[in-house]
């Protein structure tokens, strides 16, 4: 488990699956900047059964409140391309009542620290829709910096969008 004063990132357990799939399937709750794709409940459970949503090149943890263990969202990492020394982070905060409280920022900070301390990865990135100001703030508060804009890279809700690339390098994280 990864802990801060306010949140805990922990592995997913079987009793989490019903809530997580419900949140995964609730496209409206995700907001307009989160991908719309939905996997079947059977595939969702199969992936959990096979790996617990954790592997060498990807992983997912639930975000719980430190005070009462309430599941407020999830955070995941995945390798972008096999030939790049890079991981991307993605997160979803469940429900509007949990947003704007610093949960995403703390989650990104904890996962970033874990990945840089436990893996040889050199670069972590966040891909953010230009109009998603809360996620831009998360990236900046977590120490990431704007690197570039990837033009027309993301297809969602019937059209292509640019995405902002926010990055943190290992030596920047450790202050080298």
Q: Tokens 């990492």 appear where?
A: 77
- State how far the Cα of 30 lies from the Cα of 89, in Å rounded to an integer: 16
Q: Is the model's pLDDT at 149 over the cut of 90? A: yes
**What was the pLDDT predicted at 84?**
92
Q: What is the 3-state secondary structure (H, E, C) of 5-31?
A: CCEEEEECCHHHHHHHHHHHHCHHHHC
Q: In what order do the strands lie in the sheet with 123-128?
A: 2-3, 7-11, 58-65, 71-79, 86-93, 123-128, 159-169, 145-156
User: Does the pLDDT at position 36 exceed 70?
Assistant: no
Query: Under a CB-based contact definition with an 8 Å cutoff, are residues 162 and 150 in contact?
Result: yes
pLDDT in the model for residue 168: 98
The rounded distance, in Å, linking the Cα atoms of 124 and 107 is 14
- Report the CATH number at residue 141: 3.40.630.30
Per-residue tokens: 142: 């977590």
Confidence of residue 35 (pLDDT cuts 50, 70, 90): confident
Distance (Å, rounded) from C-alpha 173 to C-alpha 122?
A: 10
Q: For residue 59, what are the domain limits?
A: 2-174
DSSP 109-165: HHHHHHHHHHS---EEEEEE-TT-HHHHHHHHHTT-EEEEEEEEEEEETTEEEEEEE
Number of domains in the chain: 1
Q: How much is the mean pLDDT over the chain?
A: 92
Over residues 56-81, the mean pLDDT reads 93
């Amino acid at each position: 488990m990864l802990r801060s004063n306010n949140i805990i990132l922990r592995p997913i357990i079987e009793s989490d699956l019903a809530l997580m799939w419900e949140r995964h399937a609730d496209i409206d709750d995700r907001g307009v900047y989160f991908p719309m794709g939905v996997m079947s409940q059977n595939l969702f459970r199969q992936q959990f059964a096979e790996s617990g949503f954790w592997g060498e090149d990807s992983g997912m943890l639930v975000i719980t409140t430190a005070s009462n263990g309430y599941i407020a969202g999830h955070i995941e990492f995945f390798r972008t391309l096999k030939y790049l020394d890079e991981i991307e982070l993605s997160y979803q905060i469940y429900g509007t009542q949990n947003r704007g409280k610093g949960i995403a920022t703390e989650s990104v900070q904890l996962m970033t620290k874990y990945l840089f301390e436990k893996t040889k990865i050199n670069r972590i990135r966040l891909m953010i829709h230009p109009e998603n100001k809360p996620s831009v703030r998360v990236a900046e508060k977590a120490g990431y910096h704007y690197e570039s804009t990837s033009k027309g890279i993301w297809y969602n809700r019937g059209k292509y969008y640019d995405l902002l690339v926010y990055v943190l390098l290992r030596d920047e994280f450790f202050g080298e």
